[in-house]
A and B are shown apart, each in its own frame.
Chain A
Amino acid sequence: MVQYKPRHLASSFAALAMGVGLLGSSGISGRALAADKTVISVAYGETYVFDTEDLTKKWWNGVKAEFEAKFPDATLQLVPIGGGYDDITNKLSLLYRSSRTAPDVAQIATPVIGQFSSSGYLLPLDSYLADEAWWKQFPKVIQGEGVFQGKTYAVNTGENDSQLYYNMDLFKKAGLPVPWTPHNWNDILNAARTIKAKLPHIIPVWLNAGSSSGDNGILQGAGNLLAGSTVPTIYDKKTQKWVVDSPGLREVLDFYHSVYSEGMGANLSDLFSPSAVTIPLTLIAQGKVAITFGSNYYGGNWTKLICSPCWADATKVAGVVPIPTVDGHSPDIATTVGGWDFAVSASTKSPHYAWELVKLMESDINQINAANWAGFVPANQLIVKEPAFVDFAPPYNAVSAQVLPYGVISPASGDYLVWSHGLQEATGALAQHPNTTVDAAIGVMSDYVSNQLDSSAVETLK
């Protein structure tokens, strides 16, 4: 039988005491280390938002140095968040659950600002914005992306929109006109059909499909088409229901049906890859795809600075035009808009410094650098005309700036992501099974969204 030995107990207590000591010592906060200065924290995406981690460090270290030089009695604590789009939102959600960990300022993805503001996490910024000249340069549609229940909770720090990229060499080989200006979706399909007939080894159209890229696939794919359809409604504000069947959705899915049933789309491995949205950057540069529904950041990515991939001849080969509307109806420009915003925590103890930080980050030079290094279109309509932005990736940046004011922003509700997933499944079904009909694809979407949100939460628009 085991006998009690006093030293065992003593050593156990000693170990316990050491453990408690270690636990205690790990709880030293950054704020306590700089007790003599006001500490402001800012949380941001470390690996996802900017094109490279070096550029992330360069921009944020620059902001920190500039802020601390301007306000010697304050310290800026950087809170980088690794991972992708969902990881940043998830981490911010957890940080904001406690006022102790909530960052004073945060970089938040546009589609989730509404959810953060409705949680009571964000400070209304209207009184601060009232006198800011730069804010007046933002298009109304972008000013509105941070407005909920009449108050502005966030200011944009860079947008992404979409265009059509086309390979001019392939167009010339196929006998298509260069420069190319499609006026409606039939023009796109007809050009793709010509490519398929004349250059059978070339992928005629890259059009994101399926759910592997999440809502990014919609923002850089079907969402643009829906924005240019005859009925672009996603959420019916009158009835407070999600639209799962409408003439607009049918036009979009019919376009998908044409592309994939006629064998004009990319292969499934690429389309359903987790990195699907960035694959066309390489395919275009390799001359493997003729027409691409792509994002504004393509031009910047091909530059020597970003080099993802490097493509010195991009401007000679890759043309860019706005995506037209379905039938050419005014303004004959269709694009989604989604980006990143700065918001201030409702629980910040230093709203003055928090706002000063936002202002500093919204300066011309910081916004131009953010746009060029992260692949954004600046919201400020004076900055988009600056040579430092336009000439960084010509002619792509100019076209992305041109289409920005016509952009359509996704609904801010959390349920939008369910609706988006439903559309992703519908487009995925059309891409994977080319004999899927538009009715069947509508059924896939309708079933999914009804099942997730309840059949009383969805509707059909005629």
Chain B
Amino acid sequence: MRPENGERRGWWKSSAAADGEQQLDAVGILLLLPATLLLVVMFIGPVGFAFYLGVTNIALVGPTAQHFHFTGLKNLHRLVNDRLFWESLKLTAIFLGASAVVGVTIIGMALAVLMQHAVTWLRTVVGAIVVVAWMLPPITAALLWYAFSTTGGTLSLLSGSDSDILNDFPMTIVCLANIWSTAGFSMLVLSSGLRTVPAEVLEAGKMEGASRWQVFRSLTLPIMRPTIVTNVLLVTLLSLANFSLIYIMTAGGPGNATNILPIYSYQQAFQFNKLAYGALLGDVVVIIATVFAYLYVRVSRPSRAGYRPQGKLA
């Protein structure tokens, strides 16, 4: 007979000493069940099915709408050879890089720092304005920026011409619109990060004769690094999902100048009825989002003994 031993004893085995843990495990599993079911039914199932649809010939409507079948690597072959896909991937990287990584973080940080040093009433007013911009639905932000940047809008009036700045510089304008609508979120995250920077550390820096810029660059930024990385990842995920902003402003045009992957996926699935290829493009978006989500989880995980995420970030 195998000797009873705490490490090997299963939760189903009776033991007075282990009763509490036994029942906790049973209840724990039971309580986790709805969430697990929801996750499987509402997320893993549909995403898995979308991956499957990506390698079929399903159409939204047409002969293969219901009688579709697995087509092997055919769609993947098309994806690899699709010039517009690579162009779209590049545009997605530009949109995320320029608006989410650079724009939102820099503007958000600038706002957060300025707010820290502003007088109370100004901080309240500016904070409220920026947060309202963030809270506006994407459709409102898109319409505002559409009116602002097309002929007859404020931007063309300021430039003293009747030029159509949105269509002349489409990617720049949609990036600015995204920065405008997301900077409030970034400001909130980074403001709370700034408050965690120990005042005595900054004071010590100043006593050593460091300038404001040196204190900011060599002390504040390194201390805030995990917050900044978290913010960048979150804003990137938010921007990746911000389909409506670009769709309303340009629908991916003019030409294909703002045709980022979510727009291209929608166009294939719901305008050209090519549901399978649209699903495959959507799968690429899922993979990109998963990479960023994984990085976010890694960075935001609390440090524990023996674990140092990204080494320097711990």
Contact = CB atoms under 8 A, between A and B. Distances in A.
Contacts of B270: 86, 90
A449 to B, nearest CB: 11
A214 B166 CA distance: 19
Interface in A53-101: 86, 89-90, 92-93, 96-97
B35 to A, nearest CB: 12
Interface stretch (A224-232, A324-332, A384-392, A424-432): A424-432
Nearest to A425: B255
A280 interface: no
Contact of B166 (A2, A4, A8, A269): A269
Interface in A1-22: 1-4, 8-9, 12, 16
Interface stretch (A114-122, A240-248, A309-317, A361-369): A114-122
Contacts of B144: none
Contacts of B15: none
A430 to B, nearest CB: 11
Nearest to B31: A12
Contacts of A96: 61, 65
Most chain B C-beta atoms within 10 Å of own C-beta, residue among A3, A210, A414? A414
Contacts of B66: 97, 119-120
A268 B167 contact: yes
Contact of B253 (A4, A121, A212, A415): A212
A435 interface: no
Q: How large is the interface on B (under 10, 10 to 19, 20 to 34, 35 or more residues)?
A: 35 or more
A115 B255 contact: no
A12 B31 CA distance: 8
A26 interface: no
A91 B164 CA distance: 35
Interface residues of A, number: 47
B60 A272 contact: no
A4 B26 contact: yes
Interface string B243-257: 000001011111110
A268 B250 CA distance: 12
A268 B271 contact: no
A214 B65 contact: no
Interface stretch (B17-25, B41-49, B209-217): B17-25
A214 to B, nearest CB: 7
Contact of A268 (B34, B164, B251): B164
B239 to A, nearest CB: 22
B24 A1 contact: yes
A120 to B, nearest CB: 7
Nearest to A416: B272
A3 B20 contact: yes
Interface in A363-388: none
A381 B314 CA distance: 79
Interface string A440-451: 000010011001
A461 B7 CA distance: 79
Contact of B167 (A3, A89, A272, A425): A272
Given A4-B23, A119-B63, A414-B273, A267 B151 contact: yes
A150 to B, nearest CB: 17
Contacts of B251: 211-212, 274
A418 B278 CA distance: 14
A375 B273 CA distance: 27
A86 B272 CA distance: 10
Contact of A8 (B27, B256, B272): B27
B3 interface: no
B18 to A, nearest CB: 11
A219 interface: no
Interface string B64-95: 01100000000000000011100000000000
A269 B255 contact: no
B152 A269 contact: yes
Nearest to B273: A414
Nearest to A112: B61
Given A86-B271, A115-B273, A267-B151, A1 B62 contact: no
Contacts of A210: 253-254
A272 B24 contact: no
A272 B20 contact: no
B221 interface: no
A89 B61 CA distance: 9
**Nearest 8 A-B pairs (CB), nearest first?**
A269-B151, A4-B23, A269-B150, A268-B164, A93-B61, A269-B164, A115-B62, A115-B61
Interface of B: 20-21, 23-24, 26-27, 30-31, 34, 59-63, 65-66, 82-84, 150-152, 162, 164, 166-167, 248, 250-256, 270-274
23 contacts: A12-B30, A92-B61, A93-B60, A93-B61, A96-B65, A112-B61, A115-B59, A116-B61, A119-B61, A119-B62, A210-B253, A211-B251, A267-B162, A268-B164, A268-B167, A269-B152, A269-B166, A414-B272, A421-B272, A425-B255, A425-B256, A432-B254, A451-B84
Interface of A: 1-4, 8-9, 12, 16, 86, 89-90, 92-93, 96-97, 112, 115-116, 118-121, 210-212, 214, 267-270, 272-274, 414-415, 417-418, 421, 425, 428-429, 432, 444, 447-448, 451-452
